[in-house]
């Protein structure tokens, strides 16, 4: 792959050499014929000759300069604000310092479970291009420097095998063990560091605090097949339980780590060889509470846009501001194609796909978020009594009102009309008809290496799928993705399922592919265990997308992109081709809170032992960073969340820390979902 990268640039070098030689020869000829030029004329002629061959280099320099300037500006602002950042709070402002003065001490061992992309990865075996990187970070910490030094080599080593979902031949990348592996995602950007510092202040250290590192690229079951990660986690929890006077463990997963640990709960009690053999009652014996931070229990819509076009709102905005930069063939970047090629080898991405289909996420004309208002700066807040919102606290709850409900159920729409018109006004043609008409794959050998699976698709099928006035729900979008990414979906769907179980007693649900879907598995028989759904609210979060066909039809090109030219009216949920709902910027409230608010509340078929569940929401307040931030990652430095975790680790129950605390429209959304419990 590195040779391909150099091959693309070779013509520029050859052309420059030829031009230089030609220029020199011409000068000799001019001198021999006695042609006299003024100094100004000579300068103009030389500038014109060099303009063509320098244009590419100048463009690269400008792009690099912009990136470096932006990076250094961010670092400058970070250091200027250092005294006010979470990691450098004065001791008296850290919740642990205050709680320690009140006599709070750590009692229960704590296990932290990182989420997707937040855990460090290091190289153990690589190709020649990775010489000198043995046991050096490729991801997290300072590992991102390799992206600038050797980008194609870096991407090759982060990729997994496209058929097995495991290591490619000659490459071994492994998770960085211990707390060091996930304390910072990059220098200056904390992940777990602030929480760890607070835990340390009330007595936590190596013997009662553990980071459950795993390779977040793999399917959950493959972390056990390749690394025995689930077995290591089981052994560590058992050891911490015994070493700390038989005190049950408090587990704190974040983001995708929530689904990973949900998989573990079923795995640990399942008989071998598929499970860990802990037997029924293992969870009841060893686990006190699970405090889920930013949980993505029911998936996230942005996983769909990632698979379809390697985009989210941020990438789409940048693409609109600087068209052609990310897709530039002249500069040789093609960044999105590279990102797609790598991420489509990660099975974990499919674990984040929306679960529950149209029952949870809505259909063509209905969604649970109906009546949600999107002008977050002008929301009205109404105080409800505890009997109105079924919470045992006096916090105010947001009641959202909007004139024209957004059709959030249409997660992917091609054209704005397809996102707003009634379903009866849309064409009746469905994706399956296109599949029957054009089922053959049409690999274009002239494209060379197939960077993405789009290179193997019939171009006519691509155009038909992306025709305007077509929309896809949480159910039909799986047909769409199976068509545009068949290799990825065939491999990953052997490890993950996204439906709703009709009968949980059916033996098929004993298979590991169902264990990370809370709608297709039962919680363990552990009535004294507690589960918390802790997440931020009040931040616009991606919920659905308006797409268009890409203007380019070249080989190695992603044919679809978010239509950033599409906007709604003032205060609309639609901005630059993205519909927003309430959430923490990454995970919608619906995915983060539904299971604790309704799916597991009391004794249900998904929670037969009646494990107590609590919804703990943290309201977004200015400033949007630091100790009050509630965004998906920054919330791990939020002092209110940290205090909740410290109190639970010190022995408090959910009722003792205040029970449910709900600001969002979560309960109203839950009532609109007709799910058999």
Cα(217)–Cα(117) distance, integer angstroms: 8
Q: Is the N-terminal amide bond of 548 cis, ω within 30° of 0? A: no
- For residue 124, give the H/E element and its range: strand 121-125
Cα(411)–Cα(479) distance, integer angstroms: 13
Q: Which residue intervals of 539-619 are DSSP H helices?
A: 589-594
Paired strand residues for 287: 249
CA–CA distance from 515 to each of 25, 340, 452 (Å)? 73, 27, 30
- If DSSP codes are grouped into helix, strand and coil, which group holds residue 447? helix
DSSP type of residue 615: E
Please work out, in degrees rounded to the nearest 5, the angle formed at the alpha carbon of residue 627 by the alpha carbons of 625 and 629.
Answer: 40
Cα(517)–Cα(260) distance, integer angstroms: 10
CA–CA distance from 651 to each of 25, 107, 242, 661 (Å)? 85, 6, 17, 19
Choose, from 159, 185, 219, 255, the residue flagged as catalytic: 255
- If DSSP codes are grouped into helix, strand and coil, which group holds residue 471? strand
- If DSSP codes are grouped into helix, strand and coil, which group holds residue 290? strand
Q: Is 143 exposed, middle or buried (0-12, 13-18, 19+ CB in 10 A)?
A: buried
CA–CA distance from 521 to each of 54, 490, 508, 515 (Å)? 61, 22, 11, 6
Choose, from 193, 347, 584, 644, the residue flagged as catalytic: 584
Q: Is 10 exposed, middle or buried (0-12, 13-18, 19+ CB in 10 A)?
A: exposed
Q: How many CA atoms lie within 13 A of 677 on its CB side?
A: 18
Cα(217)–Cα(348) distance, integer angstroms: 5
Is residue 79 part of the annotated active site? The answer reads no
Q: Is the N-terminal amide bond of 77 cis, ω within 30° of 0? A: no
CA–CA distance from 6 to each of 12, 148, 531, 545 (Å)? 10, 15, 53, 37
Cα(317)–Cα(341) distance, integer angstroms: 21
DSSP type of residue 597: I
Choose, from 495, 632, 634, 670, the residue flagged as catalytic: 632
Phi, psi at 273, each rounded to 5°: -85, -15
Is residue 584 part of the annotated active site? The answer reads yes
Is residue 55 part of the annotated active site? The answer reads no
CA–CA distance from 173 to each of 1, 101, 230, 273 (Å)? 18, 44, 18, 25
Catalytic residue numbers, as ranges: 255, 584, 632
């Amino acid at each position: 792959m590195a040779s391909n990268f150099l091959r693309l640039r070779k013509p520029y070098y050859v052309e420059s050499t030829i031009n230089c030689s030609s220029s020199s020869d011409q000068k000799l000829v001019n001198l021999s014929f006695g042609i006299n030029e003024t100094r100004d004329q000579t300068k103009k002629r030389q500038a014109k000759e060099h303009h063509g061959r320098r244009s590419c280099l100048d463009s690269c320099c400008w792009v690099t300069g912009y990136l470096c300037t932006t990076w250094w500006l961010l670092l400058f602002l970070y250091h200027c604000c250092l005294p006010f950042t979470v990691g450098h709070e004065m001791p008296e402002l850290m919740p642990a310092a205050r709680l320690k003065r009140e006599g709070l001490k750590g009692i229960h061992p704590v296990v932290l479970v990182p989420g997707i992309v937040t855990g460090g990865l290091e190289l153990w075996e690589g190709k020649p291009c990775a010489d000198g990187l043995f046991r050096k970070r490729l991801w997290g910490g300072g590992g991102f420097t390799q992206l600038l030094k050797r980008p194609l080599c870096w991407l090759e080593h982060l990729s997994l095998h496209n058929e097995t979902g495991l290591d490619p031949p000659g490459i071994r990348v492994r998770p960085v063990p211990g707390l060091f592996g996930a304390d910072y995602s990059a220098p200056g950007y904390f992940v777990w560091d602030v929480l760890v510092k607070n835990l340390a202040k009330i007595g936590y250290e190596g013997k009662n605090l553990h980071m459950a590192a795993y390779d977040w690229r793999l399917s959950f079951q493959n972390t056990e097949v390749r690394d025995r990660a689930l077995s290591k986690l089981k052994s560590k929890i058992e050891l911490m339980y015994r070493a700390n006077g038989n005190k049950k463990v408090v587990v704190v997963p974040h983001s995708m780590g929530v689904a990973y640990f949900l998989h573990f709960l079923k795995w640990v009690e399942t008989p071998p060889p598929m499970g860990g053999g802990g037997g029924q009652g293992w969870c009841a014996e060893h686990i006190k509470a699970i405090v889920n931070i930013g949980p993505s229990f029911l998936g996230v819509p942005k996983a769909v846009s990632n698979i379809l076009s390697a985009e989210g709102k941020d990438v789409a905005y940048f693409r609109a501001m600087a068209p052609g930069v990310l897709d530039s063939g002249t500069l040789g970047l093609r960044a999105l194609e590279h990102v797609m090629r790598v991420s489509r080898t990660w099975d974990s991405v499919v674990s984040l796909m929306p679960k529950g289909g149209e029952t949870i996420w809505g259909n063509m004309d209905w969604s649970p978020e109906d009546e949600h208002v999107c002008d977050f700066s002008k929301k009205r807040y109404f105080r409800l009594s505890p009997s109105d919102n079924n919470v045992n606290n006096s916090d105010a709850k947001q009641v959202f009102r909007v004139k024209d409900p957004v059709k959030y159920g249409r997660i992917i729409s091609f054209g704005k009309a397809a996102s707003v018109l009634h379903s009866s006004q849309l064409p009746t043609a469905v994706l399956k008809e296109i599949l029957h008409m054009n089922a053959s794959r049409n690999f274009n050998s002239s494209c060379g290496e197939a960077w993405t699976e789009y290179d193997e698709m019939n171009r006519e099928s691509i155009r038909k799928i992306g025709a305007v006035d077509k929309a896809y729900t949480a159910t039909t979008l799986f047909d769409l993705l199976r068509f545009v990414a068949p290799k990825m979906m065939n491999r990953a769907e052997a490890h993950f399922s996204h439906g709703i179980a009709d009968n949980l007693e059916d033996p098929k649900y004993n298979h590991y592919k169902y264990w990370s879907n809370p709608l297709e598995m039962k919680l363990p028989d552990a009535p004294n265990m507690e589960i918390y759904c802790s997440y931020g609210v009040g931040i616009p979060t991606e919920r659905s997308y308006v797409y268009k066909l890409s203007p380019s039809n070249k080989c190695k090109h992603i044919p679809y992109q978010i239509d950033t030219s599409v906007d709604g009216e003032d205060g609309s949920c639609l901005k630059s081709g993205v519909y927003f709902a309430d959430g923490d910027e990454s995970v919608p409230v619906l995915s983060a809170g539904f299971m604790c608010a309704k799916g597991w509340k009391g004794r249900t078929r998904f929670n037969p032992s009646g494990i107590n569940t609590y919804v703990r929401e943290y309201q977004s307040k200015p400033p949007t960073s630091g100790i009050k931030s509630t965004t998906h990652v920054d919330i791990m430095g939020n002092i209110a969340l940290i205090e909740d975790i410290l109190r639970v680790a010190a022995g408090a129950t959910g009722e003792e820390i205040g029970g449910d605390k709900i600001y969002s429209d979560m309960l109203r959304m839950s009532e609109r979902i007709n799910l058999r419990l």
